[in-house]
Amino acid sequence: MYDIHLILRNTPGELAGMGSLLKRHGISLEGGGVFTVGNESHAHFLVEDGDKARIVLEAEGFRVQTVCQPLIRKLQQDRPGELGAIAAALSAAGVNILTQYSDHANQLILVTDHPAAADQATRLWAVSPG
């Protein structure tokens, strides 16, 4: 899975156009969100094929900021304080969280400034294979 960071124009229909374009190319969004600051909307979405998503979006004039492999972790939903605990573990390792959201399977998606250190610091929350 890949996190794709887009800068969208803060205008009606921009997100609809992006979604329709991805649909036409068989690209599904597995989680993410959009946050607006001024005249720009920063969108982070989880996609299976980051390279394909970038190519499709850029070909139609969308501004792709980055594509990267995020850290995917699973918080124990029935235990209060899980997000704080994982954030504290990352902080103790000197890792800054750049982006945080959830996917459709309620997994925590993190983009950090030091992926290898983040991976090591959060092994307790690692997603079990299949």
- 26-69 tens-digit pLDDT: 999 999 999 998 889 999 999 999 999 999 999 999 999 999 99
Residue 115: CB atoms within 10 Å: 15
Q: What percent of the chain has pLDDT over 70?
A: 98
pLDDT, tens digit, 9 for 90 and up, residues 111-130: 999 999 999 999 999 977 65
pTM value?
Answer: 0.90
96 and 112 Cβ atoms separated by less than 8 Å: yes
pLDDT computed for residue 30 by the predictor: 96
